[in-house]
Chain A
């Protein structure tokens, strides 16, 4: 398309590099990360606020998946722009590349889980220590890793899970995990590295290279993200299965990733950077993506998964949703539906809402909060015992009427501050050391002059 307006964006480093700006955010994030992690460890080990070991582990997993989702969403943004040869996004792509490049640290989040295998071997969750805590072991997080305990407590479930042990076993689990983190780390790093190289050389063939490899990247991304969701979240309830689970997590990644992109870009702009580079037109398009993928697509997939299971009404499938609609979980599920879909759908449907930066910023932070809650909702609940014993649905509901979600446990906050703080520290460090625009992208002119009308 033709734009007759003269492009007046300042492309000097004064506008495109943070320099000393943002150092306060970086150091604050570093301190918050250390304090948060230490406090989390303290709460976890002392068992304060009734915190159990499995809650501690799940909280780690949930917050790790949250920051992982941000980076995976941003990574999706990067290669999908190359795949579609998009011009408009050249002005915002570097921020996505930076967020995605955090994936090179994805392996760190798996260390505590690896430690479970090293510490516990096949430790039985049932035995426990002197304080009544379950012994450390992989069975604490993944029931399939401790079949003896499952056989003892839930023989019917164990029957189902035994058939899956060819997939769900420690060795294969870790081989897959290695494949995921290595692919994510290398691929996201490759996109950032080459984009930075193009900043220096202006070599157009780099863009051709991106476009050539964006396709294979998309395929591998789809596979790794799906199986990572199966491995790390769906297998927490190993008897349960849903082929849509991976897509659901992907929708969550888009929510978190696009929302974080908006937050980072608008925050950077408040330092007087990226002026006239990222304008209302780009904000509107980022808002559209957040709206379409983060709200509508998420709700569409979430409902599709729910409705099939609700309609078929097969016990080994419904248990997972039953756990999420009894007691406090019922309230939380409704909150999630309202906050992740209904409210932002109405709030962000009009054009003007996406073009006002403070409003869009508010919406992005809101969506980040609910992306976090979505993962809490996915990871935290355990299928109530009554599901295996009760004869009617109402019996389960009544027995679980007082079930609490654990959302008020301070560990949720400390863990979020710890892992989230570390993530922000990593991100701000790179934001401050990198030019924030792919300055010699061959489509940059198109991106700068982009208008929605």
Chain B
């Protein structure tokens, strides 16, 4: 009988703190959305800034408990839409009704173009294009603005290393506090999270580069 020797890595290697990869932050696991809401309330009151909540589904009232400020995205979308309307109008007016020249790398001349006997400047005919370009720019700004502000797309995140954290897509609710928070102090933050009724608190390592 042959014995195959396999090396099983220790689950939590205890090594000298000085040589470990730096801590990215702490996660605290909660069983119910209610406990998470209470915890979020306390974390906000404690003055943390670099922290977040992770849940399997939208939890109503969480934004309020976390004190999240309204997003600026709608304002961006509004002005993107307005830009679309204006650009579409100018483009059509220039290519249908106006005959002056502009310099866009080369000289381009507007060309009054008679279509089915309508006046050159026919707003009703321009409106569908203006509408569509408004929608186009609004939608693109909405999607890519959201991506940018959420720092997406992103292939990896330190949280993904935690096995415990996987249940965030199923039935567990997490408060995550990052170590870069000025209020973060490893042992004290851990104690604080435990005091909030977390069923578990786990340390997350920074990604090794």
Contact = CB atoms under 8 A, between A and B. Distances in A.
A binds B: yes
Interface of A: 1-5, 303, 306-307, 310-311, 313, 349-351, 449-451, 453
Given A2-B33, A4-B33, A4-B37, A449 B60 contact: yes
Contacts of A4: 32-34, 36-37, 59-61
B131 to A, nearest CB: 8
B127 interface: yes
Contacts of A449: 60
Contacts of B78: 349
Interface in B28-58: 32-34, 36-37, 57-58
Contacts of A1: 57-60
Contact of B124 (A307, A349, A350): A307
B2 to A, nearest CB: 54
A303 B130 CA distance: 13
B33 A307 contact: no
Given A307-B125, A451-B60, 7 more contacts: A2-B57, A3-B61, A4-B32, A4-B33, A4-B59, A453-B60, A453-B64
A332 B62 CA distance: 48
27 contacts: A1-B57, A1-B58, A1-B59, A2-B33, A2-B59, A2-B60, A3-B60, A3-B61, A4-B33, A4-B34, A4-B36, A4-B60, A4-B61, A307-B124, A307-B128, A311-B116, A311-B118, A311-B124, A311-B125, A313-B116, A313-B117, A350-B74, A351-B70, A453-B58, A453-B60, A453-B61, A453-B64
Contacts of A306: 124
A451 B124 CA distance: 40
Interface in B52-82: 57-64, 70, 74, 78
A299 B125 CA distance: 15
A220 B96 CA distance: 45
Interface residues of B, number: 23
Contacts of B36: 4
Contacts of B33: 2, 4
Interface of B: 32-34, 36-37, 57-64, 70, 74, 78, 116-118, 124-125, 127-128
Contacts of B118: 311
A450 B59 CA distance: 11
Contacts of B125: 307, 311
A341 B141 CA distance: 24
Contact of A451 (B34, B61, B74): B61
Contacts of B32: 4
Contact of B127 (A307, A349, A351, A450): A307
Nearest to A3: B60
A74 B57 CA distance: 33
A453 B63 contact: yes
B128 A5 contact: no
A114 B159 CA distance: 74
A308 B112 CA distance: 23
Contacts of B37: 4
A303 B37 CA distance: 47
A2 B33 CA distance: 8
Contact of A303 (B58, B74, B117, B127): B127
A3 B65 CA distance: 13
A310 B123 CA distance: 11
Nearest to B65: A4
Nearest to A308: B124
Nearest to A307: B124
Contacts of A310: 124
Contacts of A350: 74
Task: Give the most central of B59, B63, B64: most A CB within 10 Å.
Answer: B59
A450 B61 CA distance: 10
B117 to A, nearest CB: 8
Contacts of A311: 116, 118, 124-125
A392 to B, nearest CB: 13
A175 B117 CA distance: 45
A450 B34 CA distance: 16
Contacts of A313: 116-117
Contacts of A451: 60-61
